[in-house]
Amino acid sequence: MALKAMVFIDGSWLYRSRSAVFAKLGEENFEVDYARLPRLLCEELANTIDEDVSLVRTMYFGTIPSARSSFNTGKQRAFYEFLESVCHYETKIHEVEIGGGENLADDAWISMSLASSMMYYAAMPAAYDVAILVSDNRVYAPALHAVRLLGKRTQIVSLRTADGTEPPFGVTLVGKSRVMDFAPIYLDDHAAELKLVRELRKRTCKQCGREEETTWAGSDFFCSECRGKHHRRD
Ligand SMILES: [Zn+2]
């Protein structure tokens, strides 16, 4: 029987890590193939343990400025919606106050929320066998210990340093004892596979029926004009 894996993504860590992955390809910027990422991690794990790995769910943890702030969060909301509807992630997005001196606590929201979910599903019978944590932040060590005490296995997803070597011992989770069952997967080793390749093609607008060239791969397509009207309504 295939091992059941749940992927837990620290959105803040992944966002910050992108530049290291880009650098690996010698590129300034490209888009991460978010739909591919969880499957890639499961394939890597399957190769390591020589067993089938089945992806149960991908949970993504992030923050967004609160409605009270004057920030335009449209782009961020669209990104989180894309993760849900196109990539089939389950997102947990926490509203945070910006500018109230609380900024430093953003990552605490994410790590608390992620650790709670990882523990919750670990205690839930048969929810998962392996937790794949996309972050190498040391704050997750206690949660990983607890998950392993419940008999679950853990896979950490980390980054090598800029010069291609592994991070110094003790700086990240990777140097901690009793936190993982397998060698870490280094995202920058898979840079080429993580790069989103967009195809330009003609699609029909769901609203007005006009055809337009787009790289949008989601299920419903709306042309630029209809999208504009929609945003003005908001
Ligand atoms: Zn249209």
pLDDT of the residue at 234: 46
Rounded CA Rg of the chain: 19
Distance 226 CA to ligand 1 centre (A): 4
Asked if 106 and 218 sit in the same domain, the reply is no
Asked if 94 and 207 sit in the same domain, the reply is no
pLDDT of the residue at 104: 55
Asked if 129 and 226 sit in the same domain, the reply is no
pTM of the model: 0.83
Phi and psi angles of residue 7, each rounded to the nearest 5 degrees, phi first:
-100, 130
Q: What is the mean pLDDT of the chain?
A: 88
Domain count along the chain: 2
- pLDDT higher than threshold 90 for residue 150: yes
Q: What is the mean pLDDT of residues 201-212?
A: 92
Distance 75 CA to ligand 1 centre (A): 20
Distance 33 CA to ligand 1 centre (A): 26
Distance 214 CA to ligand 1 centre (A): 12
Distance 196 CA to ligand 1 centre (A): 26
Give the separation between CA 149 and CA 123, rounded to whole angstroms.
10
Structural domain containing residue 216: 199-234
